[in-house]
Amino acid sequence: MKKKWIALTLFSITAILLAGCDNPLLILDPKGPQARTLSSTILFSIAMMAGILLVVYVLYTVVLVKYRASKLDDDYEPPHEEGNKWLEIIWTAIPVVIVIILSVVTVSTTSTVEQKSVAYADEKPLVIYASSSNWKWHFSYPEEGIETVNYVNFPADRPIEFRLYSFGPITSFWIPQLAGQKYAMSDMVNTIHMSADVPGSFIGKNSNFSGEGFAKMEFEAQSLSDADYKEWVNDVKTTAPKLTEDEFDDLLEAEHVGRKTYSSNHLEFKPAPEGEDSGHNHGGTTSTDDQHEEHMDMDMDMDMDMDHDAH
């Protein structure tokens, strides 16, 4: 069949592209332990799936070549076949084995990438809060007390722990070459672990559709050598302006902004939705009930300028 050849050709083209030397595909070109785990998981599953495809395609080709009416005698009568218990057991059992293998791989790699890499088992991770508003990213460094917008710097060869949340629609924080993505949401904080092997610059983006300006919601993630990172932090602390609450509110309202750098961060006056500030802590205490009433009033007015972070 011509069709099968097309599929095969397309697959070999992919194979060539996957092996492509000068321009490797982004997620198969990992630069950190988490992304490397994922990349090898993906390659392993592709190999396994190619095996399955091969079996199906060979059977398919044989059957179509051998049993086409034009090749058979006019008086050939296909037999009546109810099925075959053993064959059916075989093609149930083999996929079961395949699924078991893949399940083991999935469970182990999922738990591997959901924590800091074993290579850095003893190191304390650097915590950075990444939050999204409209179509930009805010990065707050609680330890250093600084904040950036639309770019993030961190030391290479050290575990980084991003804590994600959103001031609006669900976004998905993704630096493909360092780690898989995770959602940033308004009512809880998600954690993502990663580290970069060496200094370098990586594309970061929101992968989850979040409205009109979504396509341009990218940022640069830069891993620096330890010395460079310390120097940058010092620079920011001495030269960058402080982030005031008013300025932050203006920032939240803005659709797109360029890069910004501040020598203080918004966590001080607008804490992330975790612990007792979590969106799921509703009901119960008196203070929460007050908040409920306040918002009911606002909602009745259908007030469009509602405070985005009014939990």
Partner 1 sequence: MKWDEFFVTGEPMIYAAMVSIVVVSLAIPIALTYFKKWNWLWTNWLTTVDHKKIGVMYILAALLMLFRGGVDALLMRAQTAVPDNGLLDGQHYNEIFTTHGVIMILFMAMPFIIGLMNVVIPLQIGARDVAFPRLNAVSFWLFFSGAMLFNISFVIGGSPDAGWSAYFPLASLEFSPTVGNNYYAIALQIAGIGTLLTGINFLVTILKMRAPGMTLMKMPMFTWSVLITNVIIVFAFPVLTVALALMTLDRQFGTQFFAMQSGGMDMLWANLFWVWGHPEVYIVVLPAFGIYSEIISAFARKNLYGYKSMVVSMVAISLLSFVVWAHHFYTMGHGVMVNSVFSITTMAIAIPTGVKIFNWLFTLRKGKISFTTPMLYSLAFIPIFTIGGVTGVMLAMASADYQYHNTMFLVAHFHYVLIPGTVFAVIAGFHFWFPKVFGFRLNEKLGKWAFWFITVSFNVTFFPLFILGLNGMTRRMYTYSESTGYGALNMVSMVGALGLTVGFIILVYNIYYSVRYSPRDTNGDPWDARSLEWSTHSPVPEYNFALIPTVDRLDAHWFSKKEGKPLATGKYEPIHMPNNSGVPIIMGAAFFFWGFFMVFSWWIPAIVFGVVILGTLAYRTFEKDHGHYISVEEIERTEKALRGEQHEN
Q: Which position among 132, 150, 210, 222 is part of the footprint of partner 1 (CB under 8 A)?
A: 210
The answer to whether residue 95 forms part of the interface with partner 1 (CB under 8 A) is: yes
Q: How far apart are CA 129 and CA 116, in angstroms?
A: 16
CA 73 → CA 1, 78, 80, 253, distances in Å? 21, 11, 17, 76
Does 37 participate in binding partner 1 (rule CB under 8 A)? yes
Q: Minimum CB separation from partner 1 for residue 224, in Å?
A: 22
Min. distance of Cβ 219 from partner 1 in angstroms?
Answer: 14
**8 Å CB contact between 226 and 253:** no
Coil, strand or helix at 206: strand
Query: The tokens 């606002």 sit on which residue?
Result: 298
Q: Shortest gap between Cβ of 276 and partner 1 (angstroms)? A: 14
Question: Is residue 185 at the binding interface for partner 1, with CB under 8 A as the rule?
Answer: yes
Q: Which of 12, 60, 241, 290 binds partner 1 (CB under 8 A)?
A: 60
Nearer to partner 1, 41 or 222 (CB): 41
Out of 122, 246, 283, 287, point to the residue binding partner 1 (CB under 8 A): 283
User: Residue 258: CB partners within 8 Å, gap ≥ 6?
Assistant: 150
Query: What stretch of H or E contains 52?
Result: helix 33-66
Residue 212 interacts with partner 1 (CB under 8 A): yes or no: yes
Q: Is 45 in the site for partner 1 (CB under 8 A)?
A: yes
The reply to whether 150 sits near partner 1 by the rule CB under 8 A is no
Q: Are strands 200-206 and 218-224 parallel, antiparallel or unpaired?
A: antiparallel
Q: How many of the other CB atoms lie within 10 Å of CB of 251?
A: 20
Nearest approach in angstroms of CB 256 to partner 1 is 11
Residue pair 176/24 in contact by the 8 Å Cβ criterion: no
For position 191 contacting partner 1 by CB under 8 A, the verdict is yes
Q: Is 286 in the site for partner 1 (CB under 8 A)?
A: no
Single out the residue of 19, 21, 22, 80 in contact with partner 1 (rule: CB under 8 A).
80
**Could you say which of 12, 99, 124, 250 contacts partner 1 (CB under 8 A)?**
99
Which string of b and e fits 154-169 if b means at least 16 CB within 10 Å?
A: bbbbbbbbbbbbbbbb
Q: Applying CB under 8 A, does 211 fall inside the site for partner 1?
A: yes
68 binding partner 1? (CB under 8 A) = yes
d(CA 136, CA 256): 6
Structure tokens at 107: 């469970």
Q: Pick the closer one to partner 1 by CB: 217 or 233.
A: 217
CA distance 225 to 289: 49
Binders of partner 1 among 4-33, rule CB under 8 A? 4, 6-7, 10, 14, 17-18, 23, 25-28
